[in-house]
A and B are shown apart, each in its own frame.
Chain A
Amino acid sequence: MADYIVDETVDITDVVCPITFVKVKVALEELDVGQILRIRMNDGEPVQNVPRSCKEEGQQVLKLLCNGDGTYDLIVKKLED
């Protein structure tokens, strides 16, 4: 059982860098501090860059889950407005 509850999901598999993180930032904007965002992303550049960018913005990366279909789910907790 997951030790967190996802409040919102954003799919960034349809865009490439830098729009990937732009979409994440827009999604985070809509959340309250303490809420959790699931980000569905492609393998490769997004997996390398988006978690790091989230950390640099002061957000907490909880988990990176492999979906087994070439996509990953990044679970991020919003810590900063």
Chain B
Amino acid sequence: MAFSNEQLERYARHIILKEIGVKGQKKLLNGSVLIIGAGGLGAPAAMYLAAAGVGTIGIVDADVVDLSNLQRQIIHAMKDIDKPKVISAKETMEEMNPDVKVNAIQAFVSSENILELIEPYDFIIDGTDNFPAKFLINDACVMAKKPFSHAGIIRFKGQLMTYVPGQGPCYRCVFHEPPPKNAVPTCKEAGVVGAMGGVIGSLQAMEAIKYLTGVGDLLAGRLMTYDAIKMEFRTIKLPHDTSTCPVCGENPTITELIDYEQAACELK
């Protein structure tokens, strides 16, 4: 595959980088990422990956665009209100970069469809806003041996970690099981600064780019937290006890996917 002059110009700042270069840009163009959730995290992640020239981007979300989304979900605009989020996201990405093929999937992820959804992709981004989906994505990625980036944001705080099969703990190793219903407020109840999705979603896009190009160290075996009030990032090394995790451990007790119940307030 030879680059066109337009591609050389579009990706010049990647190609100049010693770590990426011509080879790395080809890896991005041949790479694929599935983004689950076209919201606060998924929006910036999707836009940066489309701009970077990730060749195939899947985006999954069941919702339509609402005015209250526009405070942080920068892939959507006023003209997109009431449009399915995945269609709005696809249109924005394709306007940004015609090199990118976008697969828009308007659906909730569940134990029924998640394995089929993640199967064609090299890397998965969890941009969801609820614990049932986060545990489902983790368990499915562990079972299917897919690397993924977990993230969560609320108020002025965010966190992320990356799971790479065989290279450290999974999300369930660290957080075991969803908190009791209503024990943790959702962003809808608690609020979130819009730019938080930009910070953490962009870090997820960075992890995907690094995974696809093979550059640098991923957040595998580490949890990064960001506190915008204190303006502090922390990176916490995570223990990895392969004997005890019920999904990625040596003797897993969770061998089928679980659809945890959503808190009532999260369902429209």
Q: Which residues of A line the B interface, CB within 8 A?
A: 18-19, 21-23, 25-26, 29, 53, 56-57
Q: Which of B12, B13, B18, B23 contacts A29 (CB 8 A)?
A: B23
- Cβ-defined contact, B22 with A19, below 8 A: no
Known A23-B8, A26-B3: A18·B16 in contact at CB below 8 Å: yes
Q: A23 to chain B: which residues have CB within 8 Å?
A: 8
> Are A56 and B18 within 8 A (Cβ)?
yes
Q: Mark B1-42, 1 if CB is under 8 A from A, else 0.
A: 001000011001101101001110000000000000000000
Binding site for A on B (CB under 8 A): 3, 8-9, 12-13, 15-16, 18, 21-23
11 A-B contacts, Cβ less than 8 Å apart?
A: A18-B13, A19-B8, A21-B16, A22-B8, A22-B12, A22-B15, A25-B15, A25-B21, A25-B22, A26-B8, A26-B22
Contacts of A56 in B (CB 8 A): 18
**Pair B18/A26 contact, Cβ less than 8 Å:** no
Most buried by B among A18, A23, A25, A56: A25
Contact A25 B16 (CB under 8 A): yes
Distance of B18 from chain A, by nearest CB (Å): 6
B2 to A, closest residue via Cβ = A26
Closest Cβ–Cβ distance, residue A61 to chain B (whole Å): 16
CB of A57 within 8 A of CB of B22, answer no
Task: Kindly report which residue of chain A lies nearest to residue B23, judged by CB atoms.
Answer: A29
Chain A residues near B16 (CB, 8 Å)? 18, 21-22, 25, 53
CA distance A39 to B97 in the complex (A): 31
How far is A22 from B21 in the complex, measured between Cα atoms in Å? Answer: 9
CB <8 Å contact, A57 and B18: yes
Chain B residues with CB below 8 A from A53, complex form: 16
